[in-house]
Amino acid sequence: PTINEIHGNVSAYTGGYIMANGERPHVGAVANDVLPFGTIVRINGKEYVVKDRFGGNYDIERFDIYMDDESSCWEFGRQYVDVEIIGGI
């Protein structure tokens, strides 16, 4: 069940060697400085799992989706969209 829905400030990133949870970066991961690791969120109809941090003490509304390549990140840009916080895995 959906716990909450917030209006998110969502961007995309690529690269890196290790995410904050210790895993290698992969599609389906998202960074957020507030939600616990393992929290599932739905953004633009797709589900992601919180596995990384910004490290800047951003608010709960800020998300950064991992993508495989830089051109996909640029194409995604920054979006202000509703984000469903679904729960943990």
Helix (H) or strand (E) holding 85: strand 79-88
Cα Rg of the chain, angstroms: 12
Q: What residues contact 75, with CB distance under 8 A and at least 6 apart? A: none
At residue 8 the predicted structure's pLDDT band, cuts being 50, 70 and 90, is very high
Tell me which residue of 75, 87, 76 sits closest to 64, measured CA to CA.
76
Per-residue model confidence (pLDDT) at position 87: 83
Q: Which token pair is 34?
A: 């507030």
Average pLDDT of the chain is 94
**pLDDT greater than 70 at residue 3:** no
pLDDT tens digit string along 29-61?
Answer: 999 999 999 999 999 999 999 999 998 889 999
